Amino acid sequence: MTTANQANQVNGTARVLRALGADEASVRLRAAMAAGTAPDPSYIGTLVDRCAVEPDFQVRELLTWALTRHARSATVPVLVGELRSESAQARSQALHTLSKTGDRRAWPAITRELLTDADDEVARSAWRAATVLVPEGEEEDLTGVLVTQLGRGGREMRLSLSRALIALGEAAGPVLRTAAKDPDPEVRQHALATERLLRDPEAGYEFAVEEAKRIVALGPDGAKG
């Protein structure tokens, strides 16, 4: 590469890095696209930092895409470091990006603290990442943690957890059957709906929830109705 070409490359990289912090979302969007189209290790730190503060969903998605275009050996350690951030968005987006990399070297960093994080978006991202990254043979331990979150939040939160448990397949069955007897009616309802979907994915979430509500309302004999 000639000196002139090297200079042009350096200048182009600098422009992309500046544009990632521009005021206009459209400019940041194009910069993220450029960073993913022509990956450069010097982008990684700025891309990860931007994930923590980016307000626009579409831009965040492209930041994640751009990071997945870089070598996992370079991105995964930086993303794992973000999981200790005090910023909920930083943790959530790092988890989301790790799930997209599919690199199971990140698995040890998906801690119980993240899976039960007080911030809903962090917890949801952790559930998704965990089901992607969990090594063979550790599904049962993961379901044991996830089941403690049954009954948490509203519809979207519960649907996310149901999907995570269903993704774990047979490992989820025993813990769901136990949770279906929990003294908390919200936990029972969520467990029953998730178990229904595990047995019959075609049932649909809304149908499963309504059926679970009926069973919980009727008490122990509800399952016979």
Alpha helices (H) in 20-133, listed in sequence order: 25-37, 44-51, 57-68, 72-82, 88-101, 112-115, 120-133
- Phi, psi (rounded to 5 degrees) for 84: -95, 5
**Tokens of residue 213, six digits:** 């509500």
Is 203 among the domain residues?
A: yes
Is 43 among the domain residues?
A: no
**Tokens of residue 144, six digits:** 């044991």
Among candidates 185, 182, 211, which has minimal Cα distance to 197? 211
Is 169 among the domain residues?
A: yes
Is 84 among the domain residues?
A: no
**Which range of residues forms the domain containing residue 200?**
137-225
Q: State the pLDDT at residue 216.
A: 79
Q: State the pLDDT at residue 5.
A: 45
Is 201 among the domain residues?
A: yes
Provide DSSP, 95-120.
HHHHHHHT-GGGGGGS-HHHHT-SSH
Q: pLDDT under 70 in the chain at which residues?
A: 1-11, 219-225
DSSP state for residue 24 in the 8-state scheme: S
Is 105 among the domain residues?
A: no
The alpha carbon of 214 is separated from its chain's Cα centroid by a whole number of angstroms, namely 31
Per the structure, the count of domains in the chain is 1
Say what the pTM is: 0.88
Contacts of 16 (CB under 8 A, 6+ apart): 31, 34, 35, 43
Among candidates 19, 43, 40, 38, which has minimal Cα distance to 29? 19
Is 57 among the domain residues?
A: no
Gap between the Cα atoms of 175 and 165, Å rounded: 10
Q: State the pLDDT at residue 144.
A: 95
Gap between the Cα atoms of 169 and 191, Å rounded: 14
Is 149 among the domain residues?
A: yes
